[in-house]
Amino acid sequence: MSVDRSFRVPQGIIAGLALLFVVAGCGPSQSGPKRYPVSGTVTFNRKPVPKGFITLEPSIEQGNSGPGGGAEIVNGKYDTTLEQGVVGGAYKVRIVGTDGVPATIEGETLADGQPLFEPYETTVEFPLEKTVKDFEVGKPAPQ
């Protein structure tokens, strides 16, 4: 089976993004805008995405200069901590998801498995409150 590396999620990317958000949001902040947690489900072909990451980046183009956030996807569910939530307004949402089955391909170890789909991106307008937002992602990753 030929593997197209252009959509493979190297094992360090998900861990690196998670670490970035943890370090950036260490502990509750007493300053800055109020954040609201975001949670929900992520499905692909109507099935829960086994493993992945969701990134929430403020849409500067739409006037949102607030902080970003994100969360791990585990068994189709994600839940930001309050410190990784949103401040409301437009956010660019990026989702990567894998099959969750560790694999070695061409000598490269994929701890979280192979990508299920091309990285999914959309823009969401979040309210100034705790939000539940579900995502159904599309286009499969090339084989």
DSSP per residue, 118-132: SPEEEEEEE-SS-EE
CATH number at residue 114: 2.60.40
- Is 4 part of a structural domain of the chain? no
Mean pLDDT in the chain?
84
**Is 86 exposed, middle or buried (CB count within 10 Å of its CB: 0-12, 13-18, 19+)?**
buried
pLDDT digit string, tens, across residues 18-45 = 444 444 444 444 578 999 999 999 999 9
Q: What is the largest CA-CA distance in the chain?
A: 52
Question: Which span out of 8-12, 75-79, 81-85, 134-138 was modeled with the highest average pLDDT?
Answer: 75-79
Q: Is residue 24 assigned to a domain?
A: no
Q: How many structural domains comprise the chain?
A: 1
> Residue 43 sits in which domain range?
35-131
pTM over 0.85: no
Determine, yes or no, domain membership for 18. Answer: no
Residue 28 placed within a domain: no
Specify if 71 maps to a domain: yes
pLDDT tens per residue across span 82-122: 899 999 999 999 999 999 999 888 888 888 999 999 999 99
Q: Are 81 and 49 in contact (CB under 8 A)?
A: no
- The DSSP line for 101-124 is --EEETTEEETT--BSBSPEEEEE
Residue 17 lies in a domain: no
Tokens at 134, concatenated: 């579900």
Residue with tokens 């498995």: 113
Residue 5 lies in a domain: no
Going by C-alpha positions, the residue among 113, 123, 120 that lies closest to residue 96 is: 120
Looking at the domain assignment, is residue 125 inside a domain?
yes
